[in-house]
């Protein structure tokens, strides 16, 4: 039985608007004005602390302030400024009911945010495990540990699945599906298959550079890919 772990942003949900507007607001609280939210899509997926430091060379104090402001705006307005990609709910339903797969969702969002979104879109029944990050994972000092936040979330997801099943999750039958280098990197660190989707927010060249074994260009193509796995 194949185990499939999905990223959320850029894989299951088109969520750019809520995230980029919240980043725009967060930047304004530390004196940075960005008028075009389309220039902020690189904040989708990676830990906020990483992008604030890399893009604006923020101090740790400003990073903390910006993250707090982001959460304030995102959790009150931005979180529901998103939609499922067309066809994704049918894909999840068939993956479970027709293809006999075990599904999980793993995101760098906080655990509470991810559960809220999954519940909002009535997707709880499709996932055996719903795994987000702890709020403290965005602390600036955490980004210096050498292991990305997403890699830790994937590791935790697999552990939770093993606890649920009462047996080891087989790496050669486990697939991480996501749109960023952090998904590919995390899959590699866990020794599982990496599937990069180019319909999200990552770049094809980056996905390939960070080890994507397979590239998928649409939800329809992803459906066909999962169907092919079910017949192995």
Q: Rounded to whole angstroms, how far apart are CA atoms 71 and 187?
A: 27
Say yes or no to pLDDT of 6 above 70.
yes
Q: So which residues are the catalytic ones?
A: 7
Query: 42-53 b/e with 16+ CB inside 10 Å = b?
Result: bbbbbbbbbbbb
The model's confidence at residue 141, banded by pLDDT at 50, 70 and 90, is low
Q: Is the pLDDT of residue 50 over 70?
A: yes
pLDDT at 198 over 70: yes
Predicted local confidence at residue 146, as pLDDT = 45
* Domain residue ranges of the chain, discontinuous segments joined by +: 3-14+83-230, 16-80
Which whole number is the average pLDDT over 201-216? 96
Q: Considering the domain 16-80 in this protein, what is its CATH number? A: 1.10.150.240
**What confidence score (pLDDT) does residue 140 get?**
58
Tell me the mean pLDDT in the region 159-177. Answer: 95
Q: Report the top-level CATH class of 3-14+83-230.
A: alpha beta
Per-residue pLDDT, 22: 98
């Amino acid at each position: 039985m194949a185990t499939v772990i999905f990223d959320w942003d850029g894989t299951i949900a088109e969520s750019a608007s809520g995230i980029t507007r919240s980043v725009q607001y967060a930047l304004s609280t530390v004196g940075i004005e960005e008028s075009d939210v389309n220039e902020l899509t690189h904040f989708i997926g990676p830990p906020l602390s990483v992008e604030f430091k890399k893009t604006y060379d923020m101090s740790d104090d400003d990073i903390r302030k910006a993250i707090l402001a982001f959460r304030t705006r995102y959790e009150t307005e931005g979180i529901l400024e998103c939609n499922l990609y067309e066809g994704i709910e049918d894909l999840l339903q068939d993956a479970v009911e027709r293809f006999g797969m075990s599904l999980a969702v793993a995101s760098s969002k906080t655990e509470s945010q991810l559960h809220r979104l999954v519940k909002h879109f009535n997707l709880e029944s499709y996932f055996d495990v719903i795994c987000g990050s702890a709020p403290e994972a965005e602390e600036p000092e955490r980004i210096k540990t050498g292991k990305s936040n997403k890699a830790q979330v994937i590791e935790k997801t697999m552990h939770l699945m093993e606890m649920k099943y009462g047996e080891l999750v087989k790496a050669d039958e486990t697939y991480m599906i996501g749109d960023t280098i952090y998904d590919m990197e995390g899959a590699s660190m866990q020794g599982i298959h990496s599937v990069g989707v180019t319909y999200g927010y990552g770049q094809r060249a980056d996905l390939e550079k960070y080890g994507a074994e397979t590239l998928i260009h649409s939800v329809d193509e992803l459906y066909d890919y999962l169907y092919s796995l079910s017949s192995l």
